[in-house]
Structure 1
């Protein structure tokens, strides 16, 4: 993990300056500028922002929400140990983006770690964390952290909660590998 940057994470509010945020993916920029606040107020997605100390400027963000995966989406080996329900509870990291000025500084990793830690601390049951990578680069990013394909012929990736909890526990104890 990069230690080049220091950021804090906060739930998106009107005090945060989003006006200068630009990501390589215009849809991720537009989401933060136009829709994140609306989705917050409508309980569609919780948006957390990374800000530098003593500023309100948004350097990156991610969204999380409750989700469910259809049992029919899972491969046979992914169904092992699951009861025969049509929907499997999950958490969704819907969007994760960092400002282009933060490229190569490790902020993407810090955003993902904060999202995973936050999801692991929620007192609600979920079997997995789901992501829908926006492109191949995003898919490769998530794969580096253990996310694997969910089902067949899909870009959707998942990480079992037990794996996420183990990784977060290792990071907190300082023995992350």
Structure 2
């Protein structure tokens, strides 16, 4: 978590590659509790089960989502994910986006995203997608 924030996030921000959103403690704004990063991307729809879309569609990549180990299990990951999905909805309303893509680091992370409606690609079980239409229904 710390390495990516220190070494990559600001560079990506300056180069307009992604945007990072940080959760801080209200009593200590310097303490980072968690963060997520979003980036524009496109994705091939091969492997998306039961989806009828063109071969390639616009998407938002949830490039990172991390919670400080001292704050896991307290709902912060869910809060950050919901904030990210709200941000995606605003983006989708302005420019048109089909889905959110996430590459889960392991099966536990994949299970977390599936709990909120994400589905795995049939050809890559740790790559998940969440249609914007599904987010709108929530």
Is 1:66 aligned to 2:37, yes or no?
Answer: no
Unmatched tracts of structure 2, length 5 or more: none
Cα deviations by residue, 1:106-165 (Å, 9 ceiling, x for unpaired)? 100000000000110111211111100011111111111111112424310011101112
TM-score, normalised via structure 2 length: 0.90
Paired positions, count: 135
Cα deviation code 1:53-98 (max 9, x no counterpart): 2523211000001111124x234622x2x2x4x4211111010001
Asked if the contact 2:19–2:38 (Cα under 8 Å) also holds between the matched residues in 1, the reply is yes
Kindly report the root-mean-square deviation, in angstroms, between the aligned alpha carbons of the 2 structures: 1.5
- Structure 2 residue aligned with 1:77: 50
Shift of 1:29: 2.9
Q: Name the structure with the higher strand share.
A: 2
> What's 2:75 paired with?
106
Please state whether the residue corresponding to 1:94 is helix, strand or coil.
Answer: strand
Could you say which structure has the larger radius of gyration?
1
Return the alpha-carbon distance in structure 2 between the equivalents of residues 166 and 44 of structure 1.
Answer: 29
User: Residue 107 of structure 2 corresponds to which residue in structure 1?
Assistant: 136
Q: Provide structure 1 residue ranges, at least 5 long, that are not aligned to the other structure.
A: 1-27, 168-177
Alpha-carbon distance in structure 1 between the residues aligned to 2:102 and 2:60? 9
2:31 is the alignment partner of 1:31:
no
Q: Is the aligned partner of 1:162 residue 2:133?
A: yes
Change (3 A) 1:113 1:101: same
